[in-house]
Amino acid sequence: MSHFPRLLATCLLLLLSGPGTALAEGVEVDHRVEARVEGDHGHFTVYRTLRNPDPRYVEQSHWFQLPQGGTVHGFALQAQGQWTEGLLLAAPEAERRYEALRRKGTAAPRTLASLSGYGEGVELKLWNMPPRGSVTVRYDVRSRLMHARGRSSFTYPLPLSEQDPRPTLTVAPPSPGEELRIEPGESPRGLDILEASWKAEPLDGIDARAGLAPWGTGTLGFLQVRAGRLSEAPARARVVFVVDASRSVAARGLTRQLSIAADYLQLLPDAVVEVVLFRRSAERLFGRFIPASEWKAALAAVPAARLETGNGSHLDEGLRLAQQVLSEGSGPARILALTDGQLRRAFEPVPPAPSTSAPETAVHLLWISNRGNYVPPHEKLSGPLVRESCGWRLPPHEEKNLEPLVRPVRWEQVHVEDEQGTRLKELGALGEGDAFQTWLPSPETPLRQLVLRGLRWGCPSSIPVEIAPALSEDLARTAYAWNISRRYGDESPPSEAITLLAKTGNWVSPARSFLAVPPGAGPSSARTRALPDGVSGGVVGGIVGGTILCPVAGPRQRADSPKFGEELTRLLQPALSACPGQGTSLQVQVETTGNEVVEVEVRGAASQTQAACVREAAWALTLPPLFDDGFPGSYTVTLSP
């Protein structure tokens, strides 16, 4: 784990000490946390015992990390055998009173404390810590639950220093008999945490709710989105696998594709299936739809010669034939195209047909990486294979989980809009079990209606956002410190909004602080280490920022060399003698991907017959090992009599 967050927190603590004060080193000796879940929130009661090893009264300052998104709603101090409840005041007033009690006076020294908010943590100041004595503080924290991977959770930070005691965390289960996990983890800022999680409440579809509160002439909103199970697998689906039988995938790659197809059918056991093989042209493997239960036997009955690989990577021909196959019936359908992505440059997505434009149909792509990842797939594979169709692109490293190709399990490019269609927030991807929580500040225009939009299998989809009265009423108490959308990124509402929320919701913030003053406390004669006003402290250490530039590799191409053209000329020269139309020179343009011919064009032939003969000779070539590097290339050779 990076040490940068620890260094940042340490520097922040030094800065918070402020000018005019030298603070004594204190020791934390105990750290206990009692946590419970109520509705959508985690509640923490934190007890921390601090010791003064010095033989004199001193002032101490401590920086406490809060649980992610936490706000402090209660504070108390136990000192000299007595508990004192803290009073929440405007920050300037709390500071004025604290400074007044630090003056020299005649009262007996009593320990007092202030708790101030600074973003994701709080600063505790203790005045008149008793010599070689201890005090305990208690503070109450509230944070919103997080949801990811089908589990609900909250986190609690571990100490920044290994010398501080690890917290003893006890959690009351959300419900009797609930299986609770408490595991170490890492926060978005790289800090160590404890995470308590449990199975989330079942949910179908997407639950999108928002709380709204007036803010100036506009609205301050808090959006809460949770995704449950987004869809179900289709019943009695028709499945067409478009399988790459080109030479670049080789026999091993073809076998692998058919194995993936078998795994896919395990998720649709009542489906019927056909296979379309594509090389230079496309052909049906079975000639009919067969039940998924007959897949293994039907495949074993196919003659081996029909599964040999050859020149040509005409995926578009395979897609057109798949559309024709699907026109034979009706009902939910899936096309799954499998390819190594090494296609001819002229490849274009095919026009839609009624069989692939139906809402219950999807056209998916699974890229089979056959030569590692150093040869990128054709650039046109980044979009829909059939124009205007819905579909998903699954990269090689995800092929063990084929369910996203059976039914939609996530939305992409999720964002929220107001009633005028203005985008208020970009949220990213939302998968089953995931959740977003984020602020929607709109200080100029009131928000009345919200819509959640995204891409479902690449096609637009939307649902209305419920404006929830309960969430609106609770808005002021909503955690603000960190954005907890899928556990990354930092975001909080504008500082003016924080001030408004903290005032309404009664929690510690830069604008409001707790002050705990026991009865009888006042300016005392205790000898402390506080320096006279005007003496400035300093900051030890520093952080140097910078940018690390990393080279990004672009698509790799075969190096230019005359040897490739020379070899093609040698291989094709006999065709000029064997084909009709003697005495004429002609040019042959050959496009390759590795050792595979993917396109041939003949120019300058004496006749169509000669051109066709030379073209077929080029398509029949078996390229030597010289070409077997996987890289694409294009060559124009001249054949002379």
The 10s digit of each residue's pLDDT in 604-621 is: 998 999 999 999 999 999
Inform me whether the pLDDT recorded for 9 exceeds 50: no
Question: How confident is the model at residue 536, as a pLDDT?
Answer: 34
Question: How confident is the model at residue 185, as a pLDDT?
Answer: 87
**pLDDT class for 594, splitting at 50, 70, 90?**
confident
Inform me whether the pLDDT recorded for 127 exceeds 50: yes
Out of 41-50, 357-366, 373-382, 560-569, the most confident range is 41-50
As a whole number of angstroms, the distance between CA 152 and CA 443 comes to 32
Interior angle at CA 211, CA 209 and CA 215, nearest 5: 150
Tell me the per-residue pLDDT of 462-483, one tens digit each, with 9 for 90 and over.
Answer: 999 999 998 888 877 666 544 4
Inform me whether the pLDDT recorded for 360 exceeds 90: no
Question: How confident is the model at residue 581, as a pLDDT?
Answer: 79
For residue 320, what are the β-bridge partners?
none
Question: How confident is the model at residue 119, as a pLDDT?
Answer: 65
User: Roughly what angle, to the nearest 10 degrees, separates helices 562-578 and 608-619?
Assistant: 130
Are 177 and 198 contacting, i.e. CB atoms less than 8 angstroms apart?
A: no
Average pLDDT over residues 629-637: 87
Closest CA to 275 of 549, 262, 67: 262
For residue 274, what are the β-bridge partners?
240
Closest CA to 127 of 140, 111, 142: 111
Q: Which two tokens stand for residue 140?
A: 């109450």
Average pLDDT over residues 627-635: 85
Tell me the per-residue pLDDT of 211-269, one tens digit each, with 9 for 90 and over.
Answer: 998 888 888 888 999 999 999 999 999 999 999 999 999 999 999 999 999 999 999 99
Question: How confident is the model at residue 527, as a pLDDT?
Answer: 52
Tell me the per-residue pLDDT of 496-542, one tens digit each, with 9 for 90 and over.
Answer: 777 677 667 778 888 889 999 999 898 987 755 443 333 333 222 22
Average pLDDT over residues 435-442: 85
Q: Which residue has the higher pLDDT, 14 or 52?
A: 52
Closest CA to 74 of 144, 141, 123: 141
Average pLDDT over residues 144-160: 87
Average pLDDT over residues 343-353: 94
Are 440 and 210 contacting, i.e. CB atoms less than 8 angstroms apart?
A: yes
**pLDDT class for 558, splitting at 50, 70, 90?**
low
Distance of CA 186 to CAs 9, 146, 169, 183, 483, Å?
A: 15, 14, 17, 10, 15
Are 499 and 508 contacting, i.e. CB atoms less than 8 angstroms apart?
A: no
As a whole number of angstroms, the distance between CA 63 and CA 66 comes to 10
* Terminal-to-terminal C-alpha distance of the chain: 70
Question: How confident is the model at residue 169, as a pLDDT?
Answer: 95
Inform me whether the pLDDT recorded for 624 exceeds 80: yes
**pLDDT class for 491, splitting at 50, 70, 90?**
low
Unique residue bearing structure tokens 């449950």: 228
